[in-house]
Each structure stands twice: as C-alpha cells, then as structure tokens.
C-alpha cells in the first residue's frame, strides 16, 4: 500500500514484510550556505527539518526512511560545514528510523564513501524497487537521470527532483505559489522510445508493440509501468518549479521530457490532498521551456 502523508510532503509504503517505510525527496541540507553567499543570513534549519521528519516517523511507526535524492544541497563535493550538517541530520533521524536509505541525487556528490554507517545505505541515482504488501512493485528514483531498466518492472514510478509547484497570479500581480503532487499517466511508447534511444544510441521506430518487443529483447522482461508520481520537495524553504508555467527540458529530467505534452494530463494535488484538476486546465497560455536550470 502506498499512501501520501497529507500535509507532510511524504509517502508511506507498507512493504511485503509489513514494514512501514516513509519516503521523502529533496531535503537539501546545507542550503543556507548558498543563501549566505548571496548575502542572506539564515541560521541552519537542519534540526528543524530533522524534527519534522522524526515526528512523521514516530506517528507512522516507521521501520525505514528512504530519501529520493538531494539529501544535501551543494552540487560539487561536500565541504566541512555541509558535512557536519548532513551528519547531524542523519544522526537525529537515526534516533527514530532504524534504517535509512538514500538514493543519490544530482546534489549528492561526495556522499558515497563519506557517511556510510551500519543503518545508512546509499543507492545509485538509477533507483531501487520496493514491493508493497499487496504485491505491487514500486520504482523509486531521483529524476535527474534515467532510472535503471529494472525500474520498468514497477507498475508505479516515484521521483522527486523538480520540486513541483503551481503559480497563480491575479490582475494586480499578486502571486501565490503552492507546492503540489503530480500524478502523471505514462505513455509506454513515448517513454520507451526515448529510453531505448538513450541506451542503444540509435532511434527506434514502430508501433507500441514493436517498441515493447525491442525493449523485451534487450532487457529480458516486459515493462509494466503506467503511472509516475512526482513528489514535492520536503524542504519547504526551497522554491519550486511552477509546472503550469514551465515545461521540462531533457537536461532537467529525461523521463519528463520523454512524456512531452503528455505531462499536461497530470493530475495535480495540493499537500493536503485537494485535487486541483489536470495540469492542462491550470497552465498559462505561453509555456517557457527550461533547459539545464536547476529547480
């Protein structure tokens, strides 16, 4: 069973062993350093973010925490001050979560080989599979790069990375920006064509059946995915990408780029679970394409 923890930017998965797993994305510990370099003095919020996450763990009686990438904020390596904050964050979380797993995001350079402990495990950005109690397979990855082919065994894919939000402005210029969840139906043909081109270094043409046959011949199984969930960033201090104003270029997220205009069929939900409708009903008339800009 996979359920959103409403109001808390997190998911709960009950896995095949009946263990409770809390899933979050984009904690960006140490983001205050970047603000400091821009002349903004904000005290480190590490303990506050840790408390929010440990409170969730206690309420949900969690056995494990999975972070879908961007545990830390700095992109190039990890400095001493940021390392201290990340260590503090994981130490606080370890008091509540017996196991912590981190899928590496594009901001997580320098983590592997630095912070491994008995209860802390790091995974490739290509993602991992989790089987829920009902038997359904969930694929978890960060989103800045293609997931592993193995993740296409999952019926449901879950990623973070883009910090999705909705921006609304009135005639006076007053803006409201709200973080959201996206539930995006996936077109197998569109996604697999781009994925196979990436892996095989050549274009693949044909019907959906033809594309599925090529994938099965190459990887040895038939893909099962049909839905992608994009999580809001857990760190509420960070801005989001207004998905009703900007489309995603390939250099930001290849799987979202592969979906193309199909992303407009995404169902949009506020943090408290309120359904806003499909994204195509919320978009502005002119959409700006973002290439290579970190959300």
Q: Mean pLDDT over residues 165-182, rounded?
A: 84
Q: Is 261 helix (H, G, I), strand (E, B) or coil?
A: helix
Q: Tell me what pLDDT residue 91 has.
A: 95
Against a cut of 0.75, is the pTM above it? yes
Check residue 111 and give its pLDDT: 84
Tens of pLDDT, residues 100-149: 999 999 998 888 877 767 789 999 999 999 999 999 999 999 999 999 99
Q: For residue 173, is pLDDT > 90?
A: no
pLDDT at 200 over 70: yes
Q: What is the pLDDT of residue 241?
A: 84
242 bridge partner residues: 165
Among the residues of the chain, which ranges form H helices? 32-37, 46-59, 80-94, 188-200, 208-219, 254-259
Residues 123 and 144: beta-carbon distance below 8 Å:
no
pLDDT value at position 284?
66
Which is higher by pLDDT, 212 or 286? 212
Domain boundaries of the chain, sorted by first residue: 2-186+225-290
Q: Is residue 81 helix, strand or coil?
A: helix
Token pair 């594009």 is found at 106
Higher pLDDT, 279 or 247: 279
CATH fold for domain 2-186+225-290: Purple Acid Phosphatase; chain A, domain 2 (3.60.21)
- The average confidence (pLDDT) of the chain is 90
């Amino acid at each position: 069973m996979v359920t959103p923890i409403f109001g808390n930017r997190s998911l709960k998965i009950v896995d095949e062993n009946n263990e409770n797993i809390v899933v979050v994305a984009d904690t960006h510990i140490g983001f205050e350093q970047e603000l400091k370099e821009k002349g903004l003095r904000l005290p480190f919020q590490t303990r506050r973010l840790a408390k929010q996450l440990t409170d969730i763990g206690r309420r949900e009686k969690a056995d494990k925490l999975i972070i879908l990438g961007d545990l830390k904020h700095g992109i190039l390596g990890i400095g001493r001050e940021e390392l201290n904050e990340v260590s503090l964050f994981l130490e606080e979380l370890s008091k509540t979560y017996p196991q912590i797993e981190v899928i590496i995001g594009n901001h997580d350079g320098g983590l592997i080989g630095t912070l491994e402990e008995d209860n802390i495990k790091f995974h490739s950005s290509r993602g991992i599979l989790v089987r829920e109690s009902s038997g359904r397979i969930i694929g978890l990855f960060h989103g800045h790069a293609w997931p592993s082919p193995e993740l296409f065994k999952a019926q449901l894919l879950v990623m973070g990375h883009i910090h999705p939000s909705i921006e609304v402005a009135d005639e006076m210029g007053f803006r409201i920006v709200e973080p959201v969840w996206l539930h995006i139906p996936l077109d197998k043909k569109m996604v697999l064509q781009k994925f196979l081109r990436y892996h095989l270094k050549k274009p693949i043409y044909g019907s959906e059946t033809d594309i599925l046959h090529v994938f099965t011949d190459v990887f040895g199984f038939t893909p099962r995915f049909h839905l992608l969930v994009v999580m809001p960033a857990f760190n509420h201090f960070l801005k989001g990408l207004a998905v009703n104003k900007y489309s995603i270029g390939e250099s930001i997220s290849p799987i979202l780029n592969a979906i193309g205009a199909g992303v407009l069929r995404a169902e949009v939900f506020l943090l408290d679970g309120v359904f806003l409708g499909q994204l195509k009903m919320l978009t502005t008339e002119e959409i700006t394409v973002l290439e290579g800009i970190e959300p």
